Amino acid sequence: MAYIFRKLALWSLIFRLVPTALALNLSVASSGGNTSSPILYGTFYEDIYHSGDGGLYGELIRNRAFQGSGSNGVASTVRNTNYWHPVGGVTLSIDVSSPALSPSLPYQMRMDIPAGTTGPVGFYNDGFWGFHVDSAKRYVASVYMRGDYSGSIDCYFQNYISGANLSTAVMSVSQTAAEGWKKSSTPVFTPSDSASDGNNTFYYMFDGEHLAGKSVYFNLFSVFKQTYKNRGNGLREDLATSLNNMNGKYLRIGGNELEGNGPPYEWKWNLTLGDLKDRPGRPGTWGDVTTDGLGLLEMMQWAADMGQEVLMSVFAGLYLNTTVISEAALPPYVDSAMNQLEFLLGTSNTTYGAKRAALGYPDPFVINYVEIGNEDNINGGPPSYYAYRFDAFYNAIHAKYPSLQLISTVNPSPSTTAGSAVDIHPYKNEATFVSMFNAYDQASRQYPVWIAEYAAIRPGTTTSGQVGAQTLGMACAEAIFLLGCERNSDIVVGTSYGALIKHYDEEPGTVAVIKHTSNEILLTMSYYVQKLFADYKGTDTVPVTATGGGFGPIYWSATKSSTSTFLKMVNYNGSATTVSVTIQGSMKNTATLITLTAPNSTSVNNLPSHGGEASKVTTSTITGSNGVFQVPFTSGYEVSILAV
């Protein structure tokens, strides 16, 4: 009651002072704020729904080394020849005869060729929902083979619908069974034609007459298209470019993939290194086998290539199926985490630093943030996290690396030591995201916070049902939450959306910043919110004084750098209106206005072939006078950034 009366008194005061109109007037101070985390807007990666294999990882062949499989959304160690199809009357099967290609890859594909065969025989691969065939790009294919064969292997893309061949490349092979495994590669080739769609297959074809009545063996197939920055075993170029354009300042490596479904399938950092023959892969947590081709060093290279800090995670003894490593059994896991950190941070004369140097990285990486586990607040994690798991890792890591910020995945953290932090993962509906605008206004200033995963997963106030609409309304709600994080970026260290990338053909309907098919990319409105917020971020927060209105329907946050002031505003369920902005101390008469909007709050972006983007980013110059600008909102749902 008392509150309502005070509000009424305030309103009547405003009416008296500003009798003409109730226009919102925001006055941005030139100082008086706090240092803002330089890495506030970041990214979180785990291999979920083919964001790694079949996504960002540049390998195009699916089931390249028979490392396991997935069915009905569950990954397993069952080996099969899925995604491979025989051609010319041959039989394909999984085989375990000796010698294996390597101890890590003990399963291979056998091809039996009937006696009397003539003409071409072989097989083709489906890729991950097809292949992108682009005549402007370079490709290379390879395979390991065991058996008697002298002849050529014709390697080419074919369009599944038209049957047209789209490329030619030949491996010349001359080997006997006694020689064991031999690797063959095509020369680098460019397709003769670009496919009009992604529905393409890749063929390996042999001279059947030379193989009639025989069996030959294959493993570790590969087709790579040229990669981001031309890295060997690197990233898919178009996806990595989109990611780089997002301008995220850190890469968090961890998540559910770190934990694994159950023992012994946690992420084992040391089995993701070196020659691909030495990476066994494992059943992943999101329904399919993980090849670990995109391993620890590939991720570190990715972060380096995009100029990102790394938030590294260590497995902390909790599996997704609630299995917890007992206190007595924990020491080897702590040792493994320490070895992981030595591998990354140790000089080349340490045991594990030397292993890193031998893999081509002589200089230690710079890492400032390490997270102990992932989401230990759920799946039965808290009792053991508080009782012994967190301390076991914290004490060992802190003793050796006192300057690392160590992050708890449970709030409050089991540790109150200065320099530790906590990671909170809100996955809520749209309305809750709007209400979280002030979530950190009253937070303790002693205790840094990471929002290393978040997403508005349902529209409006819905609490069940669809989890992936990713409408303009939801993106605006996320933007309001981020404004609150930015206002509090003296303690909010970083924010990153979960998930980063998903394969559209597998998971069209749940949230991700970016979705892809074999040949297309969908940038959601959440992508644009994060990109714009990262692109226009200052070094310090600055106070904003409002007259003519308070937070809602328009929300805001301001930052400044040495040369500019940035006022970010989000109109949420408001109307077209004009906000009067005063940048205190500025004599400027022009400003840049960047806006993101779409036809209505339920608009969504889509793949180019499914209607494309509904959202539009516009950049314009507006004129004002001596730091005073009238900023127009054209729509009731709009993100607007004024850069002065």
Residues that bind ligand NAG (CB under 6 A): 25, 27, 33-34, 120, 129-130, 154, 156, 160-161, 163, 165, 199, 205, 262-263, 268, 270-271, 321-323, 336, 347-349, 445, 460, 487, 490, 541-543, 547, 573, 580, 582, 598-600, 602-603, 614
Distance, CA of 82 to CA of 150 (rounded, Å): 27
Q: If we measure between CA atoms, which residue out of 423, 529, 547, 422 comes closest to residue 483?
A: 529
Shortest CB 176 distance to ligand NAG, Å: 25
Residue closer to ligand NAG by CB (options 222, 541) is: 541
Shortest CB 333 distance to ligand NAG, Å: 8
- For residue 431, the SS3 value is helix
State the angle between helix axes of 472-487 and 525-535 in degrees (0 to 180), rounded to the nearest 10: 30
Which residue reads 């160690």 in tokens?
77
Residue closer to ligand NAG by CB (options 564, 602) is: 602
Q: Is 131 left (phi over 0), alpha (psi -120 to 50) or beta?
A: beta
Residue closer to ligand NAG by CB (options 44, 629) is: 629
Shortest CB 563 distance to ligand NAG, Å: 19
- The two tokens of residue 75 are 């990954």
E strand or H helix at 155:
strand 149-159
Shortest CB 153 distance to ligand NAG, Å: 10
Shortest CB 27 distance to ligand NAG, Å: 4
Shortest CB 163 distance to ligand NAG, Å: 5
Shortest CB 61 distance to ligand NAG, Å: 14
Which residue reads 């009937």 in tokens?
114
CA torsion 497-240-311-347 (nearest 10°) is 180
The secondary structure of 361-426 as a DSSP string is --SPPP--EEEESS-TTSTT-HHHIIIIIHHHHHHHHHHH-TTSEEEESSSS-S---TT-EEE---
Q: Are 317 and 293 contacting, i.e. CB atoms less than 8 angstroms apart?
A: no
- The two tokens of residue 374 are 């992932």
Shortest CB 613 distance to ligand NAG, Å: 9
Residue closer to ligand NAG by CB (options 1, 332) is: 332
Q: If we measure between CA atoms, which residue out of 453, 460, 451 comes closest to residue 432?
A: 460
Residue closer to ligand NAG by CB (options 347, 618) is: 347
Residue closer to ligand NAG by CB (options 227, 488) is: 488
Shortest CB 263 distance to ligand NAG, Å: 5
Strands 289-290 and 577-583: unpaired
Residue closer to ligand NAG by CB (options 306, 320) is: 320
What residue type is 226 in one-letter code? Q
Shortest CB 230 distance to ligand NAG, Å: 27
Shortest CB 123 distance to ligand NAG, Å: 13
Residue closer to ligand NAG by CB (options 513, 579) is: 579
Residue closer to ligand NAG by CB (options 305, 490) is: 490
Shortest CB 130 distance to ligand NAG, Å: 4
State the angle between helix axes of 296-305 and 331-345 in degrees (0 to 180), rounded to the nearest 10: 40
Distance, CA of 35 to CA of 33 (rounded, Å): 7
Shortest CB 93 distance to ligand NAG, Å: 24
- DSSP character for 625? B
Q: If we measure between CA atoms, which residue out of 239, 345, 230, 344 comes closest to residue 295?
A: 344
- For residue 172, the SS3 value is strand
Residue closer to ligand NAG by CB (options 155, 406) is: 155
Q: If we measure between CA atoms, which residue out of 398, 399, 389, 400 comes closest to residue 420?
A: 398
Residue closer to ligand NAG by CB (options 82, 547) is: 547
Residue closer to ligand NAG by CB (options 603, 640) is: 603
Which residue reads 């714009």 in tokens?
532
Distance, CA of 553 to CA of 600 (rounded, Å): 15
Distance, CA of 406 to CA of 341 (rounded, Å): 12
Shortest CB 169 distance to ligand NAG, Å: 10
| Closest residue to bound ligand NAG by CB | 262
Shortest CB 603 distance to ligand NAG, Å: 3
Contacting residues for 54 by C-beta, under 8 A, at least 6 apart:
62, 128, 129, 503
Residue closer to ligand NAG by CB (options 114, 460) is: 460
The alpha carbons of the chain give a radius of gyration, in whole angstroms, of: 28
Residue closer to ligand NAG by CB (options 172, 573) is: 573
Residue closer to ligand NAG by CB (options 20, 230) is: 20
Shortest CB 221 distance to ligand NAG, Å: 18
In the sheet where 250-253 sits, what is the strand order?
43-45, 250-253, 309-314, 369-372, 405-408, 421-423, 449-451, 492-495
- The two tokens of residue 529 are 């919110």
Residue closer to ligand NAG by CB (options 244, 547) is: 547
Contacting residues for 135 by C-beta, under 8 A, at least 6 apart:
190, 191, 192, 193, 194
- For residue 187, the SS3 value is coil
